[in-house]
Chains A and B, each alone.
Chain A
């Protein structure tokens, strides 16, 4: 158990420290780049939870594709990379209050929630189980999600077209 704890602390540090850089760095490229270790740290946490399939998807989609798209857009924007970005404004105290209240509320609920514990062996191969679940019990959610993606894609194209003409 101690090994798992050590791994968790290491992974939590890898996740949280770059995440702080993301919201504090004045250089927008460095902020975007710091998302990569954060995503990788989260995927490490998935490994600890024995969710290997989700791990690989996390790396593939978030670290490999989303970050690259963010960087790509920043670099293509004229003057987007050279300017120092101000990430905070005069509403900092208010923000701290709201964030603190939210964190307190979440902690209160999470610490009291009875988490169901299921004992037993994890299947060695969980990709099949995920696929079956997505196409039977969760088929509707799955389809609606793809519809949301389609709508956002069409929206992005329309906005881009309007600015071009």
Chain B
């Protein structure tokens, strides 16, 4: 009965990691977003619930849990209620291959897949299905427009993202996240692959629908975009998916370019979180200081700038790797 035990263990892992990651990533993410936006706009941010407003997100979550789930009369109920689940599950699946740190010789990772980074790119490409169907099933023109914008944006930026990942995998000679971190023993890949790092950061911001790439949910044009019709916990699930995806992208940036858990003096797990939250801070900093791009500028940036640059970078990397061998 070892396989039954194996399945039970996998489910338990999934529940622990997903609930922890979900609660931690989303709640802390929303709190940080509000605090940092307040700081940038010379406000205080949440202040009243708990010390420095740290429990504000908990209070918001409890409020959202109690709210009624409203389904628009002409919505496709089945698709409407599945869409938030697709977004959340797809965002959380990426956490399987992220190595959070090292305790002694034991690497804190759910499963070190031999296709690690490819798996990450694959599951994060599923998010767009949830966004697209959520926008369509609401039977609302703003939601549909948001969903369609999201589809064109995410498909376009998946390619530069993949190219950046390929350059790093070529340097490391492996697709496994643990091997990639180990390959950065001497020099972080951000110094060896600055162009790939830049492309990855831009594409990651676009993949997580953040300003300056937040056209799918541009509030001044589309009310709230694809989740305009969602209320209560279903709305919260979309938020959870978004922030979980942002943390996953930040963690992946750390793994691919910033040396993962490696660093002097401090324990590895602490290093990992310092680097990851530095990237999260960068995403938020950009969000609250830059205006939004137009859709044509957005697509031009991807197809006419990032894509050729990414291809050239792969060519250069290949040349260097071959000559160095």
Contact = CB atoms under 8 A, between A and B. Distances in A.
Interface stretch (A62-70, A86-94, A109-117, A150-158): A62-70
Nearest to B132: A71
B118 A56 contact: yes
Interface stretch (A25-33, A96-104, A141-149): A25-33
Nearest to A2: B3
A56 B123 CA distance: 8
**Residue in A33, A59, A75 with the greatest tally of chain B CB atoms within 10 Å:** A33
B5 to A, nearest CB: 10
Interface residues of B, number: 33
Given A3-B2, A27-B76, A125-B174, A68 B113 contact: no
A64 B122 contact: yes
Interface of B (DSSP majority class): helix
Contacts of B136: 29, 71, 75, 81
Given A59-B123, A75-B148, A68 B129 contact: yes
Contacts of A75: 132, 136, 144, 147-148
B138 interface: no
Contacts of B187: none
Interface string B150-161: 011011001000
Given A55-B115, A75-B144, A125-B114, A65 B3 contact: no
Given A53-B118, A60-B121, A125-B114, A33 B175 contact: no
B6 A67 contact: no
B173 to A, nearest CB: 9
Contacts of A160: none
Contact of A60 (B113, B118, B133): B118
A106 interface: no
Contact of A72 (B2, B78, B79, B132): B132
B129 A56 contact: no
Nearest to A5: B3
Nearest to A71: B132
A32 to B, nearest CB: 9
Contacts of B133: 29, 33, 71
A36 B118 contact: no
Interface in A41-68: 52-53, 55-57, 59-60, 63-65, 67-68
B115 A52 contact: yes
Interface in B132-148: 132-133, 136-137, 144, 147-148
Contact of A127 (B115, B128, B132): B115
Contacts of A83: none
A5 to B, nearest CB: 10
The size bracket of the interface on A is: 20 to 34
Contacts of B132: 68, 71-72, 75
A33 B2 contact: no
A36 B129 contact: yes
Interface string B68-79: 000000001011
Contact of A71 (B2, B119, B129): B129
Given A2-B3, A64-B128, A29 B76 contact: yes
B126 interface: yes
B125 interface: yes
B129 A33 contact: yes
Contacts of A2: 3
Nearest to A56: B118
A124 B114 contact: yes
A52 B114 contact: yes
B144 A29 contact: no
In the complex, the 10 A-B pairs of residues with the closest C-beta atoms, listed nearest first: A3-B3, A64-B125, A59-B122, A56-B118, A60-B122, A52-B115, A56-B122, A56-B115, A72-B151, A56-B119
